[in-house]
Chain A
């Protein structure tokens, strides 16, 4: 059977990399006595697929994972056993059976929603901050530098910023942003922050707190979660 799991990455688990997460999940399933299905071949891999990698340091309350099990087990039981087996950094929020899977999770999702809190430079004026946000909204293109295997390249992220709103609270800027994710393209919160910062004039340089609220699917104007489709 194939199951879809919604889980959160808590404060304690925020420093796990994607590889750490995969290892931790595989071990948790084994501890829970939930037999994973494996790929064929010389070097079998468990059949597990994640919706979207989460950057190190980012917390989340809406991560998803599809897993194929060798046996039919009731959802209630899976929930209970996996919940006990997971370390404190990862918490199961919901599980459902996926009967018909047309697309992979990564191909399904297209929006990641974030709450971001960034410490502000002391001298910066509120107007300047709002102006920076407004400019980001109005811009026709926003280029950021990405480094990959074949060196660095310039990428326009403007079309991947679906929504951005900000308010100021005790010398922090609190942002809500819907950014593109999934197999069509990915915009990272850090890239948006870099674009907003105006060469370091706005943010203090202290670490931002980034929290992913969830991953969503927008299809013909309708927003759904991976649990709803």
Chain B
């Protein structure tokens, strides 16, 4: 009998696309001796390797756990359909990258929930790992199934599959959780008394055990875990360097967590509060070590809104001074709509090869006030002008349609704005006597109401209306200098269903997966007809979930999950939206008492001003 490892390596992997997705052994990856550790944790990313390896959370948790001698963490990603077919045919269980062991060999498996449309992949991976899908079907001999990440904000659709959810920032709680599990094994023996273990875990702050919560809203609240000081928190300085190209194939320097600009549709802006910066000196030292340990030729300054970092100009300058000579570039993935951002981009991008991206989000001032996107038309045109003058010829604009209170006038506003930017580009090119035509890309996504945001009560536009709006723009943006693209409305509809729905969706998910749904966010695999069948089978009306508004008294499926931002504050923000009143950023003006800082004993922390600053003008 040939070993599975041998068959995989010699017979199976040579036949699949991109075998490097499955073999591990990358520089800085960690292979531990299984006999020398107390617990074996498998980090599971329900998408392809190149997507999952680009995720900062994976890098942080992988190295944090592996730095502890008593634990190990390995990785597994969703296999692409070619490998999946062979695994099924040959009856080979899904295996981890480091030691090529099947999923069932691990003590815990932790899935990360980055987007709703990866949920079918979770079921598929469990099944490929020969693990019963529902918590009830798994006795103590199976690994404990854990999940965390932004979509844990509404854990209910996955409640029947996951043993424990982590609410908030994983690095704050993962070691505590592993200690508890290891102690449980010592006292009761491995694979014993799962219920007792779950009880102990449920008593830890930030952990949610759904099987103990049948009527969610009346139960105890699960409060998120939060890193208090980013300078003190763990950050991996020897991250894995993949052999194959991944989506974000560069050093990620994390400037800060959280964003308090307060866009009312944005979940990240609510669940990662407050803003916590890492200081410039810490970042420079981390950059130095990361360059030395990875050999990457690019450093990305990441955060939710990079130009908002309090010491951004100084930081970019000091990094350029050191790394330009070494041909190591900088990139700024998220820029504010202002000319300062163009200056920054100009500094770091000597060659204007990629376009500049800005997100005005809505087409009229009225609607931008509703969503609290504090950007004016003047801002945008100024920025466009600055960018064209600086030599960029391609500008990308992001918009969202289907926002609360939106009318066709707002949609028309998107088109008008795009043409204004284009005209500005033509004028400048004419003045500068450049032969090149400007190019504008307009990318339009559809509003998805998300848990823990001021718009969590809002209905999504019916699919037909979204499509009508998309088609309207398609007709209006027929210009060869403008490229227009939009998200599939059916996908946004399903996202809304899973972002807002409750535990009844477990059966829908199961049915959809049985129909063969997987990799739903990959257009070539997305099968809406199968999803509709699944809803019918489970007796769930998806339109009631996505397209029906709620009000302050509605019991939301995530009522028991607490990110610190109070329901009162969210509702006030919603009321202000309808009154077209904006809310300023608590970093620069006053604290609006959203509830995070006082409730979670954490402070806004701005590191790069004289003496530092802790909390707005909080009184």
Binding site for B on A (CB under 8 A): 11-13, 15-17, 19-20, 23-24, 26-31, 33, 35, 38, 42-44, 46, 56-57, 85, 87-89, 206-207, 209
Contacts and interface: CB of A to CB of B under 8 A. Distances in A.
A13 B9 CA distance: 12
Interface stretch (B15-23, B367-375, B442-450): B15-23
Contacts of B23: 12, 15
Given A20-B244, A31-B292, A87 B25 contact: yes
Contact of B25 (A27, A30, A88): A88
Interface stretch (B79-87, B293-301, B417-425, B538-546): B293-301
B13 interface: yes
B291 interface: yes
Contacts of A27: 27, 241, 294-297
A87 B295 contact: no
Contact of B293 (A13, A31, A56): A31
A57 B19 CA distance: 9
A87 B243 contact: yes
B220 interface: no
A14 B362 CA distance: 50
B348 to A, nearest CB: 15
Interface centre among A23, A42, A56 (most CB of B within 10 A): A23
Interface string B219-249: 0000000000000000000000101110000
Contact of A16 (B20, B291, B350): B20
A175 B355 CA distance: 52
Contacts of B19: 15, 56-57
A15 B26 contact: no
A207 B11 contact: yes
B371 to A, nearest CB: 39
Contacts of A26: 295, 297
Nearest to B291: A30
Interface of B: 9-11, 13-15, 19-20, 23, 25-27, 241, 243-245, 291-297, 326-327, 350-351, 353
A26 B292 CA distance: 13
Given A27-B297, A56-B19, A87-B241, 9 more contacts: A15-B19, A15-B20, A15-B23, A16-B243, A24-B243, A27-B296, A43-B351, A46-B327, A87-B243
A20 B10 contact: no
A72 to B, nearest CB: 18
A87 B27 contact: yes
Contacts of B9: 11
Nearest to A46: B327
Contacts of B14: 56-57, 207
Contacts of A57: 14, 19
Interface centre among B10, B245, B294 (most CB of A within 10 A): B10
6 contacts: A26-B297, A27-B297, A31-B27, A31-B293, A85-B295, A87-B26
A85 B292 CA distance: 10
Contacts of A44: 327
A102 to B, nearest CB: 28
Nearest to A58: B14
Contacts of B296: 27, 30
Nearest to B11: A207
Nearest to A41: B351
Contact of A31 (B11, B15, B294, B351): B294
Nearest to A16: B243
A85 B241 CA distance: 12
B351 A15 contact: no
B437 to A, nearest CB: 21
Contacts of A13: 243
A134 B97 CA distance: 44
A24 B245 CA distance: 10
A12 B25 contact: yes
A29 B291 CA distance: 11
Given A87-B25, A87-B26, A207 B10 contact: yes
Contacts of A35: 326
B16 to A, nearest CB: 10
A30 B297 contact: yes
B295 A15 contact: no
Contacts of B353: 43
Contacts of B297: 26-27, 30
Interface centre among B19, B244, B245, B295 (most CB of A within 10 A): B295
Nearest to A28: B295
A77 B439 CA distance: 50
B537 to A, nearest CB: 41
B507 to A, nearest CB: 40
Contacts of B292: 31, 33
Q: Which 4 A-B pairs have the closest CB atoms?
A: A27-B295, A30-B295, A31-B295, A87-B27
B294 to A, nearest CB: 7
B293 A15 contact: no
A38 B9 CA distance: 37
A17 B17 CA distance: 11
Contacts of A30: 291, 295-297, 326
A20 B245 contact: yes
B244 A207 contact: no
Contacts of B294: 27, 31
Nearest to B25: A12
Contacts of A23: 243, 245
B240 to A, nearest CB: 10
A31 B353 CA distance: 27
Contacts of A28: 27, 295
Interface centre among B27, B297, B351 (most CB of A within 10 A): B27
A207 B12 CA distance: 9
A28 B294 CA distance: 8
B327 A38 contact: yes
A23 B244 CA distance: 9
A42 B391 CA distance: 14
Contacts of B350: 42
A209 B9 CA distance: 11
A206 B7 CA distance: 11
A15 B297 CA distance: 23
Contacts of A15: 13, 19-20, 23, 243
Contacts of B326: 30, 35
